[in-house]
């Protein structure tokens, strides 16, 4: 028997979250799926705990159906996305706008050996998200075999370029170095995929890493590509507490040296651990990054700003951190600015409460605001998420 399909909207998801929480179950422990995708043999494979969670879900869905019909008649401005905005364990989200569509490119949050692909999600309104599976994987990137992380996607001309890191390369001086697994000069680092559409499929653009060695002590991970006002593309990246900036060649096939001949400049601010992003607002360049330990509740986001792209960036404040009433371990984010407005959103991951696994991380969106002096105000994590917002008015 095939159950009738039902689309789970943002408002319906939020109502469900609230009802299921009253039953003593945390919403992120329940995976929202389309009922029509459930087959008879799926139930045979479930354990009793999983079946009970699905029962709770469908009971709550039925209980709120009458109320939801009324909600659908309200002004669409009242519809909210709910957090997390996408289903499943995903982290390190890159939020970006292409034409009239919002996109999220996250890391699949699992053990390194299972991180062999990347998914993407698209939405017209920040509320309803469509999943695009396996937009790139290790079958198309032959040098990568694990730990595909932190995608950063840009459009140049008619093509889309996806920058990613893979293989979690180590050096002998690092605690994670394992002679049984690691070798000096092992292949890994930051690679590039290319596609004709944002949802891919992406092919390996270089057949090798763009950056495959350690400069200035920065592990080649957590890349973020930034287009400056003069048309030059830069890339910020770096783990192990070091942040580098490099200049990309116009074809993205190599790095351009700076005037002194170096390929990578270190711009590490105080407290930096990983996950840099950069944007400009007014006359200021804002550098944001993650601090603490990605594997626990100490993860958080801080920022600094400078009048120069190259810094120096002095730390100003922490703007996203654990809230024991909502979630912990919030970090590795990106920001979305609605074109021609001063409206900003933070796209980030966080850990549900209780957090039952190192890789249980979910992707969320909340608003980001500035004060009159241009300082970023603390971002408030929410369960209800952001309001529905179209990039192009419906006809």
Give catalytic residues, as residue numbers: 92, 274
Distance CA 68, CA 45 (A): 32
How many CA atoms, within 13 angstroms, populate the side-chain half-sphere of residue 115?
23
Instruction: Write the CB contacts of 21 (distance below 8 Å, at least 6 apart in sequence).
Output: 27
Comparing CA positions, the residue from 29, 60, 27 lying closest to residue 383 is 27
Please state, in angstroms and rounded to a whole number, the distance separating the CA atoms of residues 163 and 321: 27
Q: Is 200 left (phi over 0), alpha (psi -120 to 50) or beta?
A: left
Using only C-alpha atoms, what is the Rg of the chain?
Answer: 21
User: What is the dihedral angle through the alpha carbons of 192, 336, 364, 219, rounded to the nearest 10 degrees?
Assistant: 40
Q: Give every strand in the sheet of 117-123, ordered side by side.
A: 90-98, 101-108, 117-123, 130-137
């Amino acid at each position: 028997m095939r159950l009738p399909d039902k689309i789970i909207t943002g408002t319906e998801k939020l109502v469900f979250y609230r009802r299921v929480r009253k039953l003593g179950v945390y919403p992120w422990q329940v995976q929202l799926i389309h009922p029509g995708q459930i087959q008879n043999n799926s139930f045979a494979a479930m354990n009793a705990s999983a079946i009970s969670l699905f029962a709770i879900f469908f009971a709550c869905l039925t209980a709120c159906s009458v109320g939801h019909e009324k909600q659908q008649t309200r002004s669409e401005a009242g519809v909210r996305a709910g957090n997390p905005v996408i289903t499943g364990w995903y982290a390190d989200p890159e939020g970006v706008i292409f034409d009239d569509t919002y996109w999220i490119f996250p890391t699949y949050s699992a053990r390194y050996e299972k991180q062999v692909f990347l998914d993407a999600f698209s939405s017209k309104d920040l509320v309803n998200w469509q999943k695009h599976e396996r937009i790139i994987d290790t079958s198309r990137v032959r040098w990568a075999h694990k730990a595909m992380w932190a995608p950063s996607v840009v459009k140049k001309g008619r093509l889309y370029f996806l920058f990613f890191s893979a293989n979690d390369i180590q050096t002998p001086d690092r605690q994670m170095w394992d002679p049984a697994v690691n070798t000096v000069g092992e292949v890994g680092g930051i690679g590039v995929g290319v596609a004709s559409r944002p949802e891919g499929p992406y092919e390996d653009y270089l057949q090798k890493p763009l950056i495959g060695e350690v400069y200035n002590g920065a592990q080649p991970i957590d890349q973020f590509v930034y287009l400056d006002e003069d048309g030059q593309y830069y890339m910020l990246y770096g783990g192990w507490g070091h942040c580098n900036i490099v200049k990309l060649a116009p074809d993205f096939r190599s790095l351009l040296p700076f005037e002194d001949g170096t390929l990578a400049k270190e711009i590490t601010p105080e407290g930096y651990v990983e996950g840099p992003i950069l944007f400009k607002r007014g006359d200021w360049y804002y550098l944001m990054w993650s601090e603490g330990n990605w594997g626990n509740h100490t993860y958080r986001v801080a920022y600094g700003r400078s009048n120069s792209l190259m810094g120096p960036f002095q730390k100003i404040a922490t703007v996203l951190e654990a809230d024991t009433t909502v979630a912990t371990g919030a970090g590795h984010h990106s920001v979305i600015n609605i074109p021609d407005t001063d409206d900003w959103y933070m796209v980030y991951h966080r850990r549900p409460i209780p957090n039952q696994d190192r890789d249980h991380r979910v992707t969320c969106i909340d608003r980001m605001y500035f004060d009159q002096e241009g300082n970023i105000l603390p971002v408030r994590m929410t369960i209800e998420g952001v309001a529905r917002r179209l990039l192009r008015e419906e006809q």
